[in-house]
Structure 1
Amino acid sequence: MSMADDVTAHPEGEPDIRPGVTPDRTWPLYEVFVRGKRGLNHVHVGSLHAPDDHMALHNARNLYTRRNEGVSIWVVRADAITASSPDEKDPFFAPSGDKVYRHPTFYEIPEDVPHL
């Protein structure tokens, strides 16, 4: 059975991959972030493969919010994420050490300010 026998084309030109058939192309990896009902920020909950952004969002909803615990979902292609390396943490974060005004000990609290 050839790949041509396993894939049929839709009118839009998108291939219809039948269950159990592995296409010769792999779907991109998406990272999934969910914001909970009580949370103010999105939290990384996992990863999934999907053919496009729309399907990634729907699959993430079905996979990671089954009990209605989320109010918002972000899906981001993993290859679109730029991150620092843990091996480079010292040179990457060291520049903030020379900005002493960012540390609370830099400021003197006046005597007439209560409860600080």
Structure 2
Amino acid sequence: MQKEILVVDDQAGIRLLLNDILDSEGYSVSLASTGKEAIDRLQKDSYDLIILDYKLPIIDGKEVLNILEKEKNEIPVIVMSGMTENIITEIEKIKMVKKIIAKPFNIKDFCIQVGEILL
């Protein structure tokens, strides 16, 4: 069965890059450009992994994580940020966060990390 991944990033280029990478790895990918769009999608569909940009318009990544935590959602999350050292202490206690990845990232390493989480 194909694993379902939700990619949430406000930058179209990053969304498309991640879509292409993950699709080529055999995953089914859905895209969201805002935290609100991600929450809406999560209420309708189920996913095996969320790849979440931390800095998003309207509802940011931290708020998305807070909403998921309140709903007792246990989907694993990879958080991406350009400033990982600033957010690690804010979100490291959230157990659904499996990895925090700094942008820009190494595509090969990224694919390995996704694969490890989805085993």
Scaled by the length of structure 1, the TM-score of the pair is 0.22
- Structure (1 or 2) with the greater helix fraction: 2
Which is higher, the Rg of structure 1 or of structure 2? 1
Which protein has the bigger strand share?
1
TM-score by length of 2: 0.21
